[in-house]
Amino acid sequence: MDDARTSLAAITSVPGVSFAVVMDRGGFVIESSGEMVSDAEDVAALASCLLESSDEIGRALGRGTVRNMVCEFDEGLMLVVNAEPATRLAVLLRDSAALDAARRAATQAMPALSDARMTCAG
């Protein structure tokens, strides 16, 4: 779990990133970091549902599963990463200019975050 905390802290230390949560496929929080920690359960559940729905669209269109998606809101962005069959990550950004750096940090963090899911499941 310390690796997951460290990895999430690295993501939320990116300027412009406010919050990150790693969840299982069911949307249950494994670990979270950042400004919105009290809302982590809601963000995780909804982001996981969004990925699940989008995966269905991808399969129906013959395009496969969603790897990641970006949702643009009035007050920022949300990057959602579908890393491996059972681990997902949502990153909230208050500054859209941080998107590339957040993607890089998320990509680097996913091995530790996937290991954390295995630790929680086991």
CATH of the structural domain 2-121, one choice from 3.30.450.30, 3.40.190.10, 3.40.630.30, 3.10.330.20 = 3.30.450.30
Amino acid at 1: M
Listed by start position, the domains of the chain span 2-121
Considering the entire predicted model, what is its pTM?
0.88
Residue-level pLDDT, tens digit, the chain, 122 residues:
578 889 899 999 999 999 999 999 899 999 999 987 678 999 999 999 999 999 899 999 999 988 899 999 999 999 999 877 788 999 999 999 999 999 999 999 888 887 665 455 44
User: End-to-end distance of the chain based on CA atoms, in angstroms?
Assistant: 12
| pLDDT attached to residue 122 | 44
| pLDDT attached to residue 111 | 84
Place of tokens 């990150």: 20
